[in-house]
Amino acid sequence: MKDCYLGVDIGSISTKGVIIDDENNIIASSYIWTEGNPVNSVKKLLEILKEKLDKNYQIKGIGTTGSARKLIGLMLKANIVKNEITAHAIGTLTFYPNIRTILEIGGQDSKIILIKNGIITNYAMNTLCAAGTGSFLSSQAKRLGINVEEFGDYALKSKNPVKIAARCTVFAESDLVHKAQVGYPKEDIIAGLCKSIVLNYLNNVGKGKKITPPIIFQGGVSKNKGVVKYFKEILKEDIIVDENSHLMGAIGIAVLAKKNKNGNTYSLEMKNLKFQTKAFECNHCSNNCELLKIYRNNELVDSWGSKCGKY
Amino acid sequence: MTKISFPQMGDYHIPATYLLSHIFPNDKIINAPKITNKTIELGTKYSPEFVCTPFKYTLGTMIECLEKGADTLIQMGGGCRYGYYAELQEKILKDLGYNCKIINLVTKGQTNIRRINKLFKQINHKYSKIKTIYYSFITLKMVKYMDIIDDYIRQNIGFEQKEGSFEKLKEEMLNEFKYIKGYRNLYKTYKKYLKKFYNLKTYKPDKRLKIGIIGELYTIMEPFSNYYLEKSLAKHHIEIKRFTNVHYLLFEKAKEYKKYQKYAKEYFKYPLGADASDNIARCKFLCENDYDGIIHIKSSFCTPEIGAMPIINKIANTYQKPVLFFSFDSATSKTGIETRLEAFYDMLEMRKEK
C-alpha cells in the first residue's frame, strides 16, 4: 500500500479536490461547481475521486481550505484546516520554487501574494467590492448568453476593447448595458470586461505592492485567456499560467496535510454520512448572535457564532 | 436630580463613573450598557453614512443611555472629525425628539479649568471644587494604573498557563477599583494586583512572535469595534505591543509628539491630525526593533489614518516588515478578518522559521 494525501479547496463557486502521493505527484483531481451547497458538493467530489483513485493507495492525511474550510474540515475530520492564502503559496512553491509574485483571482475574492526566497513577505486581499473577481465575470457571461469557458476566446477576437467604468460591479454593469445598447460588438464588450477586471485588480488589490517577475496567475479566472492577455499587456511581463492553476489551493493544502500527517488513515466513504447544520438566533442579549450548530451523524460536534461563549 | 451618562470605550467607564459619582454625589450616574450589535445598529441608523465608525458607536450608546433614562450626556472632542461629534450628535438626538443636554468638555483636544467649572455648574451648581480636584487626581492615577496593568497583560496573556487567568484577575481588579476610598487605598490595591499579575504563571518561549498594533484610537481601545483583535492574537500566542491608551492621550501625547517628529522626520514634516503622525513614528519604531509584524487598524473613513497609510506602507517596504491593514465598519464580515489574520500568522511564522 502506498500513501497519499487529499486536499480539498471549497470555494464560493467551485470545489476542487486533489490527491497527491509522497513525491507531490497528482494522482487524482476533480473540479466541480459548489452550487451553494458545500456539503453536497464535497460528497460528490469524494465519489469522483474514489473512482479515479488506484486501489493501491491509502489516504494518510486530509486538508481543507477555501471559504468553507472549517465546515468541511469538521465533516472530513481533516488533520489540517488552513486559509487559502497560505495554501496557494505553499502549492505554488512546491512546483515553482523561484516564484516572486502570485496573482490569484477566484470566485468571490482576489489576492496578491509576494514571495521572496521561498517565504511570503506580503499579501493583500480584496476588501470591499466584487469588481475584479470571477463571480462578476460569470454573472456577466450569463447575461450575455455565453458560457464562461468561452469568454476568453471571444475576448481574443477583439481588436478594440471598449472602456468600461469598472470601479464597482453595479456601475460596470450599467456601463456594459449602455455599451451594448449603443451597438458595440460583443467581442469588444467582452474584451473590455476582461481588461476592466485586470485594471480593477491592479488598482484595488495590487495597490502599493511591487510586482516582481517571475509572476504566476492562478484561480479560476486564470483559465480565461482574455484576462491573461491583458495582464501581460498591462504589466509588460510574462505571466505563467500552470495547467493546474485552478487546483493550486487544493494542492497546497494536500502538501500541508502531508507535512502534518499524524498516522491516521482516512476513508473517502462519505455517502452515508449524515452531516447537518442548524441555524438559530440567540436572544439572550441584544447582540442577537446568529448561531450555527453542526451535527455529524446526529452528534453535536461544534457550534459557531457565539460572541459570549455561551454556546 | 440630574441623570448623567456618557458613551463608553473599553474599560474606561469604571474610572469615569468613579469620578462623576464623587463629584456629583446627589445625582444619578447611568452606566451605558455594554456595546452590542444593537448599539451599532442604532448608531448606523441615525448617523450620516460616511461618518467614521466611532461616531456611530458613540451615538448608539448615547441613544441607549437616553432610553435608560439619562438626561445629560458628557462628550468630548479631539483633533480630527472627533472635534464635531458633540455638536452633531446633539443635533441628531434633538431631531430624534430626545430632550437631553450634551456637555462638551473638550474641543479640538483643548480645554481649561474655567470652562469645565462652568459646565459642571450647569450639571449641578452646588458641586465642590476641592472634591473635584481631589477625585480627578485619584481618577487619573487609576487610569494610569489600569494602563500599566493592561500593558503587562498584553505582553503576557498569550502565554498564560491557565486559560482565562489574566482576564479573571483583571475583572477582579476592576471590581475593586469601583469602590476605592482615597489615594492610599488605590495605590495599595494597584500594588497588590500588580504582584498577583506577576505571580500568574506564564510560559514565554524565546522564539515567540511579537506584533505591534497601531491605528485610530477608538477602534484600538474599544475591543468590540475591532472584533476582539487582541483576544484572537493572544489565542495564537503572540506578544502584543500597543501604544495608544487614555493615559497617553491625556498626558504624553503633547510631549511625545515632538520626539516622534524628530525621530521620523524623513517621513513627515507637518502633523497629519489625530494620531496619524504618531502612528508613522511608531511604525518606524516597530520596524527598527525586533517586532515581527505590524497591524494597522482604523475605522472606515478615518481621514488622518488614510493619510498615514501610504507612508506606513513605504516604511514597511524600506524595512521589509509585513503590515496588515484593517478597516472596520459596521458592515465588516468576521470571516474576512479571520482569513486575513490567519494568513498573517502563517506568514509571520514562516518568516520566523527561515
| Domain boundaries defined on chain B | 3-127, 141-202, 205-354
Closest residue in chain A to residue B346, using alpha carbons only:
A86
Q: Measured between alpha carbons, how far is A249 from B68 in angstroms, rounded to an integer? A: 52
Look at B36 and A85 and tell me if their CB atoms are within 8 Å. no
Reference B182, options B190, B173, B174; nearest CA is B190
Packing angle, helices B129-156 and B165-177, rounded to 10: 180
Report the pLDDT averaged over residues A220-241: 89
CA atoms within 13 A on the CB side of B127: 26
Which residues of chain A neighbour B342 with C-beta distances below 8 Å? 82-83, 85-86
Q: Using CB atoms and an 8 Å cut-off, which of residues 102-121 of chain A contact chain B?
A: 117-121
Q: Clarify whether residues A166 and A205 are in a common domain.
A: yes
> Which residues, other chains included, contact B125 with Cβ-Cβ below 8 Å and sequence gap of 6+?
none
State whether residue A286 sits within 8 Å of chain B by CB: yes
What does the pLDDT look like over A234-281, one tens digit per residue?
999 899 998 888 889 999 999 999 888 887 888 777 777 788 888 888
Binning pLDDT at 50, 70 and 90, where does residue B299 land? confident
Question: Residue B311: is its pLDDT beyond 80?
Answer: yes
Question: What is Dmax (Cα atoms) for chain A?
Answer: 64
Give domain status of residue A39, yes or no: yes
Reference B210, options B181, B182, B236; nearest CA is B236
Give domain status of residue A309, yes or no: no
Report the pLDDT averaged over residues A136-144: 82
Which residues of chain A neighbour B37 with C-beta distances below 8 Å? 286-289
Closest residue in chain B to residue A127, using alpha carbons only:
B336
Closest residue in chain B to residue A128, using alpha carbons only:
B332
Long-range contacts of range A40-44, CB-CB < 8 Å, 24 or more positions apart?
A: A41/A10, A41/A15, A42/A8, A42/A10, A42/A15, A42/A17, A42/A72, A42/A75, A42/A76, A42/A270, A43/A270, A43/A271, A43/A273
Closest residue in chain B to residue A81, using alpha carbons only:
B342
Q: Measured between alpha carbons, how far is A49 from A266 in angstroms, rounded to an integer? A: 14
Q: What is the DSSP string of B46-61?
A: HS-TTS-HHHHHHHHH
Q: Which of B38, B320, B343 lies nearest to residue A86, judging by beta carbons?
A: B343
Question: Residue B68: is its pLDDT beyond 70?
Answer: yes
Which residues of chain A neighbour B347 with C-beta distances below 8 Å? 85-86, 119-123
Which residues of chain B neighbour A286 with C-beta distances below 8 Å? 33, 36-39
Residue pointed to by grid coordinates 514571495: A115
Are B277 and B257 within 8 A, CB to CB? Answer: yes
- The pairing of beta strand A2-10 with beta strand A57-66: parallel
Sign of CA dihedral B180, B181, B184, B189: negative
> A214 preceded by cis ω (within 30°)?
yes
Mean pLDDT of chain A: 85
Portion of chain B with pLDDT greater than 90, in percent: 27
Q: Clarify whether residues A228 and A150 are in a common domain.
A: yes
State whether residue A40 sits within 8 Å of chain B by CB: no
Q: Clarify whether residues A58 and A112 are in a common domain.
A: no
Closest residue in chain A to residue B323, using alpha carbons only:
A122
Q: Distance between the two ends of chain A, CA-based, in angstroms?
A: 43
**Nearest-neighbour CA in chain A from B272: distance (Å):** 20
Q: Clarify whether residues A159 and A255 are in a common domain.
A: no
Give domain status of residue A150, yes or no: yes
Sign of CA dihedral B267, B270, B276, B282: positive
Q: Which structural domain, as residue segments, surrounds residue A233? A: 97-241
State whether residue A123 sits within 8 Å of chain B by CB: yes
Report the pLDDT averaged over residues B13-23: 90
Name the 3-class secondary structure at A280: strand
Which residues of chain B neighbour A208 with C-beta distances below 8 Å? 310, 313
Look at A286 and B313 and tell me if their CB atoms are within 8 Å. no
Are A218 and A102 within 8 A, CB to CB? Answer: yes
Report the pLDDT averaged over residues A106-128: 83
pLDDT of res. B192: 92
**Range in A130-134, A192-196, A274-278 with the lowest mean pLDDT:** A130-134
State whether residue B347 sits within 8 Å of chain A by CB: yes
Sign of CA dihedral B169, B170, B175, B177: positive
CA atoms within 13 A on the CB side of A125: 23
Report the pLDDT averaged over residues B246-251: 85
Q: Clarify whether residues A121 and A225 are in a common domain.
A: yes
Q: Measured between alpha carbons, how far is B242 from A184 in angstroms, rounded to an integer? A: 56
**Range in B13-27, B40-54, B242-256, B323-337 with the lowest mean pLDDT:** B323-337
Look at B346 and A83 and tell me if their CB atoms are within 8 Å. yes
- For B3-127, the fitting CATH number among 3.30.420, 3.30.70, 3.40.50, 3.80.10 is 3.40.50
Q: What is the separation of C-alpha A257 from the centre of its chain, rounded to a whole number of angstroms? A: 18
Q: Measured between alpha carbons, how far is A33 from A190 in angstroms, rounded to an integer? A: 23
Question: Residue A165: is its pLDDT beyond 80?
Answer: no
Are A186 and A177 within 8 A, CB to CB? Answer: no
Look at A120 and B320 and tell me if their CB atoms are within 8 Å. no
pLDDT of res. A147: 83
**Nearest-neighbour CA in chain A from B319: distance (Å):** 12
What does the pLDDT look like over B261-276, one tens digit per residue?
889 888 888 888 778 8
Shared fold status for B3-127 and B205-354: yes
Look at B38 and A125 and tell me if their CB atoms are within 8 Å. no
Q: Count A/B contacts: CB-CB distance under 8 Å.
A: 59
What does the pLDDT look like over B138-158, one tens digit per residue?
999 999 999 999 999 999 998
State whether residue A283 sits within 8 Å of chain B by CB: no
What does the pLDDT look like over B44-62, one tens digit per residue?
999 988 888 889 999 999 9
Residue A77, φ and ψ in degrees, nearest 5: 55, 50
Which residues of chain A neighbour B38 with C-beta distances below 8 Å? 286-288
Best B63, B224, B340 residue to mutate vs chain A (most A CBs within 10 Å) = B340
> Which residues, other chains included, contact A73 with Cβ-Cβ below 8 Å and sequence gap of 6+?
A64, A81
Q: Clarify whether residues A85 and A101 are in a common domain.
A: no
Q: Clarify whether residues A83 and A168 are in a common domain.
A: no
Question: Residue A128: is its pLDDT beyond 70?
Answer: no
Work out the angle at residue B98's Cα, subtended by the Cα atoms of residues B93 and B102, and round it to the nearest 5 degrees.
Answer: 60
How many domains, chain A?
A: 3
Look at B354 and A210 and tell me if their CB atoms are within 8 Å. no
Binning pLDDT at 50, 70 and 90, where does residue A129 land? low
pLDDT of res. B268: 86
Question: Residue B71: is its pLDDT beyond 70?
Answer: yes
Which residues of chain B neighbour A285 with C-beta distances below 8 Å? 36
Q: Clarify whether residues A103 and A230 are in a common domain.
A: yes
Q: Clarify whether residues A118 and A74 are in a common domain.
A: no
Q: Measured between alpha carbons, how far is A108 from A67 in angstroms, rounded to an integer? A: 9
Q: Clarify whether residues A22 and A111 are in a common domain.
A: no
Binning pLDDT at 50, 70 and 90, where does residue A131 land? low
State whether residue B339 sits within 8 Å of chain A by CB: yes
> Which residues, other chains included, contact A214 with Cβ-Cβ below 8 Å and sequence gap of 6+?
A96, A98, A99, A100, A101, A238, A240
Report field, pTM of the whole predicted structure over 0.90: no
**Nearest-neighbour CA in chain B from A121: distance (Å):** 6
Give domain status of residue A217, yes or no: yes
Give domain status of residue A269, yes or no: no
Give the number of other CB atoms < 10 A from CB of residue A260: 14
Give domain status of residue A174, yes or no: yes
pLDDT of res. B249: 84
Which residues of chain A neighbour B336 with C-beta distances below 8 Å? 125, 127
- For B205-354, the fitting CATH number among 3.30.930.10, 3.40.50.11900, 3.30.590.10, 3.40.50.720 is 3.40.50.11900
Q: Clarify whether residues A149 and A255 are in a common domain.
A: no
Q: Clarify whether residues A106 and A200 are in a common domain.
A: yes
State whether residue B223 sits within 8 Å of chain A by CB: no
Reference A192, options A170, A166, A165, A163; nearest CA is A163
The CATH number assigned to the domain holding A23 equals: 3.30.420.40
Look at A208 and B313 and tell me if their CB atoms are within 8 Å. yes
Look at A83 and B342 and tell me if their CB atoms are within 8 Å. yes
Which residues of chain A neighbour B232 with C-beta distances below 8 Å? none
**Range in A146-155, B21-30, B42-51, B55-64 with the lowest mean pLDDT:** A146-155
Question: Residue B195: is its pLDDT beyond 90?
Answer: yes
Reference B244, options B20, B78, B51; nearest CA is B78
pLDDT of res. A127: 67
State whether residue A55 sits within 8 Å of chain B by CB: no
Closest residue in chain B to residue A288, using alpha carbons only:
B37
Q: Using CB atoms and an 8 Å cut-off, which of residues 2-41 of chain B contact chain A?
A: 33, 36-39
pLDDT of res. A76: 85
Give domain status of residue A311, yes or no: no
Question: Residue A167: is its pLDDT beyond 70?
Answer: no
**Range in A131-145, A221-235, B134-148, B187-201 with the lowest mean pLDDT:** A131-145
Q: What is the DSSP string of A46-81?
A: HHHHHHHS-TTEEEEEEEEEETTHHHHHHHHT-SEE
Give domain status of residue A255, yes or no: yes
Residue pointed to by grid coordinates 457550534: A303
Are A94 and A252 within 8 A, CB to CB? Answer: yes
Binning pLDDT at 50, 70 and 90, where does residue B194 land? very high
Q: Which three cell numbers stand for residue A224?
A: 480565461
State whether residue A287 sits within 8 Å of chain B by CB: yes
